[in-house]
Amino acid sequence: MTAHRLERVPAIIYRESHTAIRTNVLASPLQAYKYENNRRYHAYREGSYWGPNDEQDAYHQKVAHHLFTLVLQDRLYFAPVAQPHHVLDIGTGIGLWASNVSDAHPQAQILGTDLSPLWHPDFTIRPNLTFEVDDCCSNWTYLDEGRELFDLVHIRCLYGSVKDWRKLYQQAFEHLEPGKGWIEQVEVSLVPRFLYTRGDAVGSDFCHKEGKGWDSTAADHDSNSIFVTWYRFWQECSKRTGKTWFVADQMASLIYEAGFEDVRQERYMLPLFDSSEGIAPTATTTSSICGEYSDYPVTRLAEIARWFRQFWETGMEGWILAVSTRYMGWTANEAKEFVAKTNQVLAEQSSRVYYELVVVYGQRPLLEGVS
């Protein structure tokens, strides 16, 4: 058995987005994968995505999927599409979300696309589920190939992966059914927020506004936090790669600007500290932090915190290793040392930091330009 094997996938469709050509052939192992610093990466459109595609990352995707399912209370999507017919899942990864939707809607046709053929063989046996190797940042050719319009386009965790979000949203717009089709995107906001409690009050010491720097009133231990260092790292990555890591805080306005109507946004708290104590169920925690659920319990936050810490623990090396060594001049050892230091902070529970999961969805109007 070699590490490059593809035999676990019985059939892979490779698409060239600039043409209408579709083939049903397996790529060679060298075409499918490359190795760097002992992690495996995609070779198709090499370098366009920073994340590894190995078994370690597959496990991280499983953790992420469970975390998001927990936060969103088992809702696969928020867009009001009761009976979807054609669904596109962009950046499908190992195909967890796509497979769940295919099971929930057996009459719908689900298409998952990714730069890497990562999906597991049991996903491929679903008659209503197809996976294709494709680059969502290229020109979409679905309509040229005679395919039907979608009624749901789903995007999740593509931070740092897309150079031109406006183009991506515009192409999604053009491939959705007018008056019926919805786009939905789920991203983690990578802006750290620090919780304080003073008597009965609950709030944040500061929230960073992109381009305006950190609030000078922030506590020194917050400003010097390793999570602020992570933020500055992602900020520098955005500059050097030309691909923003902060799309979570931009996507609502960009989706609206692309022509979608009835654009809605939900935000949910992702604590990295033990939230079983010290967070009272106040209006702040139940509405502005915990999303639309007024009954969002503190016990659920504690469980979310445990899974979000595992999200960090399983994902950090993948987040940092390629971009730091390719663009930032770091060595692999320096990147791993930074991960180890962060793991130590996570274990110590010394920082009351939290992030937010952001969900944005909007509908293509029946007539463009008419509200």
In this structure, what token pair is assigned to residue 252?
């609502």
**Residue 95 domain-assigned (yes or no):** yes
The total of structural domains in the chain comes to: 1
Q: Please, is 71 exposed, middle or buried when counting C-beta atoms within 10 Å of its C-beta (0-12, 13-18, 19+)?
A: buried
Q: Is the Cβ–Cβ distance between 122 and 98 less than 8 Å?
A: no
Give the pLDDT score at 354.
Answer: 93
Summary count for the chain: helices (H), strands (E): 11, 12
- CB burial of 126-159 (b: ≥16 within 10 Å; e: otherwise) equals eeebbbebbbbbeebbbeeeeeebbbbbbbbbbb
Predicted structure pTM score: 0.84
CA distance linking residue 150 with residue 44, whole number of Å: 25
Residue 152 lies in a domain: yes
CB 183 within 8 A of CB 169: yes
Provide the pLDDT for residue 336.
97
Residues forming a β-bridge with 311:
none
Q: What angle do CA 145, 146, 149 make, to 5 degrees?
A: 110
pLDDT in tens, the chain (371 residues): 222 222 233 334 444 443 322 323 334 443 567 888 888 887 767 666 788 888 899 999 999 999 999 999 999 999 999 999 999 999 999 999 999 999 999 999 999 998 877 776 665 678 999 999 888 999 999 988 889 999 999 999 999 999 999 999 999 999 999 999 999 999 999 999 988 654 444 445 444 444 444 443 444 445 579 999 999 999 999 999 999 999 999 999 999 999 999 999 999 999 998 866 555 444 344 444 555 544 556 678 889 999 999 999 999 999 999 999 999 999 999 999 999 999 999 999 888 899 999 999 999 999 765 54
211 assigned to some structural domain: no
User: Looking at residue 121, what is its pLDDT?
Assistant: 66
Cα angle value 182/186/191 (rounded, 5°): 140
Say which amino acid occupies 305: A
Contact indicator for 290, 73 with CB cutoff of 8 Å: no
Using alpha carbons, select from 20, 35, 40, 150 the residue that is nearest to residue 90: 150
Residue 253, phi then psi, degrees to nearest 5:
-70, -35
Q: Give the pLDDT score at 1.
A: 27
- String of DSSP letters for 188-251: EEEEEEEEEEETTEEEES----TTS---TTS-HHHHT-HHHHHHHHHHHHHHHHS--S-GGGTH
Determine the Cα–Cα distance for residues 298 and 281; give it in Å rounded to an integer: 7
For residue 11, tell me if it sits in a domain: no
* Structural tokens at position 201: 């009050």
Is 122 inside any structural domain? Answer: yes
Residue 106: domain span: 31-197+220-363
Contact predicate 50/160, CB 8 Å: yes
Q: Is residue 18 part of a domain?
A: no
337 is a domain residue: yes
Are 205 and 222 in contact, with CB atoms under 8 Å apart? yes
Q: Quick check: is 21 in a domain?
A: no
CB 86 within 8 A of CB 151: yes
Q: What is the CATH number of the domain that holds 35?
A: 3.40.50.150
